[in-house]
Amino acid sequence: MKTHYLKTALAALGIMTASCAMAQLAKDNPCKFLGNITTTKDWSTGEQCDYSDCNLVFADYWNQITCENATKWGSVHNGWGRFNWSSPDRTKKYCDDHGIIFKFHALIWGSQHPNWIENLSVDDTKKAIIEWYDECKKHFPNLEIIDVVNEAIYSGGDYHSPYKSTKIIQALGSLAEDRAQRETGTRPSYNCNTNGYPNTNSYQWIAEAFRLARDRWPDAILIYNDYNTFQWQKTEFINLVNGLKACGAPIDAAGNQAHDLNDMSGSQFRSALEEIHNKTQLPQYITEYDIAKSDDATFETRYKEQFPIMWEADYVAGVTLWGWIYGHTWVTNGCSGLVRDCKKRSAFTWLENYMKSDAAKNAQSPFCGTASKLKANVELSADAISVGDKLTINVEASTTEGSISNITVKVDGNTVNNENGKWVYVAEKAGSFEILVTVQSTNGDSKEIKKSITVCEARSPFSGSAIQIPGTIEAEDFDKGCSGVASYDSNDVDEGDSNGYRSDNGGVDIVKGNGGYAIGYTNTDEWLEYTVDVKCAGKYTVYATVSSGSSNSGFNISCGNSTAKISVPQGEDWSTYSEVKAEMNFYDEGEQTIRFTITGNYVNIDKVRFSSTDCESGIELNLSDNVIEEGNYIIFSVIGETLGEVTYNGDDLNESVKRITGNKGVYVLRNTTTGKTSKFICK
């Protein structure tokens, strides 16, 4: 039993800003949370906490968040070693910023798993599961509450969700046997006298999913979560939960989704809830409560009948509503929303008033305790900085007994000095460093808060000097510097296959393509910047070498007030590159910044060449013929356009030049060290 829960959860609640704490519906109850889910306004924006169209602030009402889909295995795990945490990270940051509890949903589910695991063997499925758990632990090391397994009831010869489309059941069962062999020296076939794999008498595979979670999050509350718990499959749910206990699963609570209560009376609901608790003897959560009624009167009636029962039950630890904006919940027409046309439905008004009642304020919880007297919050002026930049670390601390006696701030183990009530760290080297803040009070209480800061190299051109325009920008050679300064990728995982072409890519995905490297796995609003030296202002023709296996792919090229829009045609795949032509102006000469911004997902960008008949390099063509020494060269056209750079090491220079220029012909090569120019006939 996780008796520590309120200490953990209320530590989070204790750092809420005053405005949030005054408004949240469950603010007066120190034992329970009343939460909700992220909202998907449309798929292009991803899941959001606040719903801006109605000017509604999530943290004004709810003190717990569950991502509706964003943390599910299929949403995050995009292939071996490839993970997209952008949406969960946004939600987790919102929780941290507002002192809201973050519940992870769900580690294992027969639905919304990655499609690519369906063709894996049992052994490879085991590896994929372990990779998924380890990545979750690495990304979220201090989870408080986890829906470990979702919808695994076995009834009528099948599972509640399509587990049989994968080898998840066999893999977890085998992992349980692996564990037993390590512990006992034998490899038993588990039989817990329950209903499931590897035969009709075992749910050991689910128990192993819980053990894997406990190994990684020893302090988290681990929940089994299912759908038809109050009406259709109540008995099966009770049997499964008790079966897990018999198998020795470290299960802390049962999660009742509560989607099926549209026509259930209060007395029927009370009876079912009490039966589940009495027969399982586990704390309960109402994990996904909604009422799918468009009629306001009926909608309000169901809330009045059911909600006080679940809230006031002393064995219910928390309630999570499954959406609150009408038209943007998962049920038909989104009619379970509490807000319609940006106005509160009558049930919402009733709920607000009920949460102010003594019954709601005094409701008990199986995980209730006393909140820490010492509260502290740490805010950083930035998530990432460059070498030489300053990071301001703000610490706010208070205590209900005594006073704050000492605050110590360390970065990478080194103490940071306080300057006028703030701690300022000056970055001296690149890397990722831990920030440890220790707060102590005169009554002996102490609290530690850990944060991290990424320090990048100072922004500079990738090759050390600005790219010459006219000339060619290799897409993978974007400027060095922090994410958000020189580039932006929607997650910090390199999903490419460049074998470490760059170690400072900040999640930008570099792939092999078109004989060299390219940018791939792109998403809308990602961007890259390049420092360029424009030799002359004027009109330019832009030639982008690109590929896409999808429709509507594209990107913009911008410099100052000038933009070229590149629409990328759908090809057979991402390995077949073609050249797309556009026009743009450079209004100024000299050093400046060019940005590539993705406007349509999944475009691969190899390179972009800028050509202008207005610009000449002044190269004289009384040159030696094809007498080329080893070294680095800038390639020019015969009219002086800069086309790119090439390194000659005695290999086939024809192929290297053709890869950059795209054509045979006569070119001028200038040695970047000696300045010597040579005519080169590319055959």
**The tokens of 170 are what?**
């066999």
Rounded to whole angstroms, the Cα distance separating 47 from 45 reads: 7
Eight-state DSSP code of residue 516: E
Q: Do 463 and 472 contact (CB within 8 A), yes or no?
A: no
Catalytic-labelled residue, pool 47, 208, 288, 529: 288
Q: Do 534 and 469 contact (CB within 8 A), yes or no?
A: yes
- Length of the chain in terms of residues written: 683
> By C-alpha distance, which of 312, 301, 311 is closest to 345?
301
> By C-alpha distance, which of 98, 78, 101, 75 is closest to 88?
75
Exposure pattern of 343-366 as b/e (b: 16+ CB <10 Å)? eebebbebbeebbeeeebeebebb
Q: Do 376 and 450 contact (CB within 8 A), yes or no?
A: no
> Between 296-312 and 266-280, two packed helices, what is the crossing angle to 10 degrees?
30
> By C-alpha distance, which of 556, 518, 559, 537 is closest to 659?
518
**The tokens of 582 are what?**
């556009």
For residue 481, CA distances in Å to 458, 536, 558 come to 6, 27, 19
Rounded to whole angstroms, the Cα distance separating 519 from 547 reads: 10
Eight-state DSSP code of residue 501: S
Could you please report the per-residue DSSP string of 26-47?
A: TTT-SS-EEEEE-EES-TTT-E
Burial of 582 (0-12, 13-18, 19+ CB in 10 A): middle
Q: How many CB atoms lie within 10 A of CB 214?
A: 17
151 is catalytic: yes
Tell me the pairing of strands 418-419 and 590-600.
unpaired
Q: If residue 566 lies in a helix (H) or strand (E), which one and from where to where?
A: strand 562-568
> By C-alpha distance, which of 157, 253, 166, 242 is closest to 200?
157
Rounded to whole angstroms, the Cα distance separating 613 from 429 reads: 44
Q: Where are the beta strands (DSSP E) in 274-315?
A: 284-289
Q: Do 58 and 68 contact (CB within 8 A), yes or no?
A: no
Rounded to whole angstroms, the Cα distance separating 477 from 464 reads: 11
Rounded to whole angstroms, the Cα distance separating 29 from 562 reads: 56
Q: Where are the beta strands (DSSP E) in 110-189?
A: 145-150, 154-155, 158-159
Angle, CA 288 vertex, CA 45 and CA 170 arms, to 5°: 90
Q: What amino acid is encoded at 11 in this protein?
A: A
Catalytic-labelled residue, pool 68, 151, 495, 526: 151
**The tokens of 365 are what?**
């919880």
Rounded to whole angstroms, the Cα distance separating 372 from 381 reads: 27
**The tokens of 362 are what?**
């005094």
**The tokens of 604 are what?**
């691969």
- 80 phi-psi bin (left φ>0, alpha ψ -120 to 50, beta other): beta
Q: If residue 517 lies in a helix (H) or strand (E), which one and from where to where?
A: strand 516-519
> By C-alpha distance, which of 463, 467, 511 is closest to 610?
467
Burial of 106 (0-12, 13-18, 19+ CB in 10 A): buried
Q: Do 175 and 208 contact (CB within 8 A), yes or no?
A: yes
**The tokens of 165 are what?**
């489309």
288 is catalytic: yes
Active site residues: 151, 288
